[in-house]
Amino acid sequence: MDPMTTVGIVQLMNDTFQTKQDNVVVEYPLSIIVNKEKYVTLVASPIYLDELAIGYIYSEGLIKSKQDISLIKIDNGIVEFELNIDIKTLPKNKDRIITSGCGKSIIYTDLDGSDLEKNKLETKIPREYIFNMVNILYQRSELFRETGGVHNALLMAFDGGLSIFREDIGRHNAIDKIIGYMVLNEISPEKTALVTSGRVSAEILVKVARRGIPLLVSRSAPTDLAVKLADELGITLIGFVRGKKFNIYSYAERIT
Amino acid sequence: MDPMTTVGIVQLMNDTFQTKQDNVVVEYPLSIIVNKEKYVTLVASPIYLDELAIGYIYSEGLIKSKQDISLIKIDNGIVEFELNIDIKTLPKNKDRIITSGCGKSIIYTDLDGSDLEKNKLETKIPREYIFNMVNILYQRSELFRETGGVHNALLMAFDGGLSIFREDIGRHNAIDKIIGYMVLNEISPEKTALVTSGRVSAEILVKVARRGIPLLVSRSAPTDLAVKLADELGITLIGFVRGKKFNIYSYAERIT
């Protein structure tokens, strides 16, 4: 399905109204069913939906690898998973499943990151690499240029051997698509970096940390909680990459 | 509580690293309890939390006016409501929908707005009014200028008699704060407009339509579903207000 469609608009330009056609981004509801139980509905751009669903359940802590998935079926806005694990036995998600639709502890669980190990990366990364990633992100942002309605995410390996770009109306979704790609293709995260067009909240930070990615770069702002979690989880967090300037919020010693 | 705090950073500027202090926005979890049952946890900027909580439960369809609230208590990140109605009796879709918003927005209402009446506004609004609103929004965006980490919303009456500005890390929250203000102060929505710094998804459109606001303005992009709902619900939707240009997606005949 096309992530973009055309609508008729009236445009004010040079003090004159004119009717024309314009591109807008498509908002698509995707329901996720896990072991025959409805888990959640996401609203997303309708591309790479398999990656989105897999990345989402990975970020939620339901799976650790693609081997935990015995079946995935995608049809008409519904993704059905059969997992090799009983999700009710995962202590972390017990409440959430029981109260699906009621919302107990949804956010707290995601913000916590207390089950994660600290990232111990010792590789040094040159500053030019940061600017290069952000440039590539923007060069590839076609849907954004057409609609202004999406966020982007890019995964790059330090050695240049990998460059995965995804777009979505939700900044969380764009990152979950990258994570879904990594899970599906069993990409090792040790020497990779993720760059996002969006702001970095605690949830985004934990998503990236959970997948083991040591370097998170944003053109935009982080929150206080994201900075605190980056400190605790060993993630180098960089924000406000603009022109020849950026801010490093944690583990600055990795950037040379 | 201050919505902004200071962190130590390493800044790359003019090809030199230097340590300094920088402002970041605070991410604050707010739990909402309704009639002694946990309803949801929002992540928000810790200002105007009463308005946020009231606007949120209004947008969810739990209350129709402040008379439905018999008690509200806010303490240490927890808002407790006692409502004069049994929320279990509300014919609501209890599906958990995660929207594309900034603060991982979770809603339990449906996105379709099918319970809402079409807005029948016949007032004409001059184009200058649109530009003026967007200018005021940006003049008042102090926290954004300091941190880059928030969205803004502004409610204005056509006659200039009202101008309410709110900021939050979540674009949904900023609008819910405005709606909470309207509910608390029993502001009539008939001749008001709302302007947002954020993109307009279906959820945002339905929030504004539910409160009866006939004109929604964004500096940014709408989604296809937001445009469709604006058409159905009688809302004039304007996007991409930049310089002396904007796009009208629905009910353009109201703008002169």
Q: How far is B187 from chain A (nearest CA, A)?
A: 30
Q: What are the tens digits of pLDDT across the range B127-172?
A: 999 999 999 999 999 999 999 999 999 999 999 899 999 999 999 9
Tell me what pLDDT residue B28 has.
93
Q: A224 touching B, CB under 8 A?
A: yes
Tell me whether residues A169 and B29 touch, CB distance under 8 A: no
- pLDDT tens per residue across span A169-183: 999 999 999 999 999
Alpha carbon of B60 to those of A102, B93, B180: distances in Å? 13, 10, 12
| CB proximity under 8 Å: A 147-166 to B | 147-149
Which residues does chain B have within 8 Å of residue A29's beta carbon, measured at their own beta carbons? 97, 111
Tokens representing residue B58 in the block: 């209004």
Long-range contact set of residues A80-85: C-beta below 8 Å, sequence gap at least 24: A80/A33, A80/A36, A81/A32, A81/A33, A81/A34, A81/A35, A81/A53, A81/A57, A82/A35, A83/A34, A83/A35
User: Which chain A residue has its CA at the smallest distance from B2's CA?
Assistant: A224
- Residue tagged active-site, from A102, A120, A128, A186: A102
Establish if A71 touches chain B: CB-CB under 8 angstroms.
no
A96 touches chain B (CB under 8 A): no
Per-residue pLDDT, B110: 58
Between B102 and A214, residue with greater pLDDT: A214
Contacts of A199 in chain B (CB under 8 A): 102, 148-149, 169
A52-103 tens-digit pLDDT: 999 999 998 899 999 999 999 999 999 999 999 877 665 444 333 222 222 2
Q: What is the pLDDT of residue A108?
A: 38
Please give the residue of chain B at the shortest CA–CA distance from A15: B244
- Taken in order B12, B18, B19, B25, the sign of the CA dihedral is negative
Q: Which residues of B touch A5 (CB under 8 A)?
A: 224
CB contact under 8 A, B29 and A246: no
Q: Is B247 an 8 Å CB contact of chain A?
A: yes
pLDDT recorded at residue A90: 55
For B61, left (φ over 0), alpha (ψ -120 to 50), or beta?
A: left
Options B40, B49, B102, B217, the catalytic residue: B102
A3, A143 in Cβ contact below 8 A?
yes
List CB contacts (< 8 A) between A60 and chain B: none
Reported ipTM: the value is 0.90
Average model confidence (pLDDT) across chain A: 90
Quote the pLDDT of residue B41: 84
B101 CB within 8 Å of a chain A CB: yes
How many other β-carbons are positioned within 10 Å of the β-carbon of residue A184? 16
Whether residues B15 and A168 touch (CB distance < 8 A) is answered with no
pLDDT at residue number A115: 85
User: Sign of torsion, CA B13 B19 B25 B29?
Assistant: positive
Q: Does the CB of A209 have a partner CB in chain B at under 8 Å?
A: no
Nearest of B8, B52, B79, B37 to residue B182 by alpha carbon: B52
* Residue, of A245 and B100, whose pLDDT is higher: A245
More confident residue, A105 or A178: A178
Inter-chain touch A25–B221, beta carbons under 8 Å: yes
Is B41 in contact with A108 (Cβ distance < 8 A)?
yes
Question: Which pLDDT tens digits describe chain B residue by residue (256 residues)?
Answer: 899 999 999 999 999 999 999 999 999 989 999 999 888 888 999 999 999 999 999 998 999 999 999 999 999 999 999 999 877 765 444 555 666 555 445 555 556 678 899 999 999 999 999 999 999 999 999 999 999 999 999 999 999 899 999 999 999 999 999 999 999 999 999 999 999 999 999 999 999 999 999 999 999 999 999 999 999 999 999 999 999 999 999 999 999 9
A129 to chain B, any CB pair closer than 8 A? The answer is: no
Give the pLDDT of residue A100.
21
Residue B102 appears among annotated catalytic residues: yes
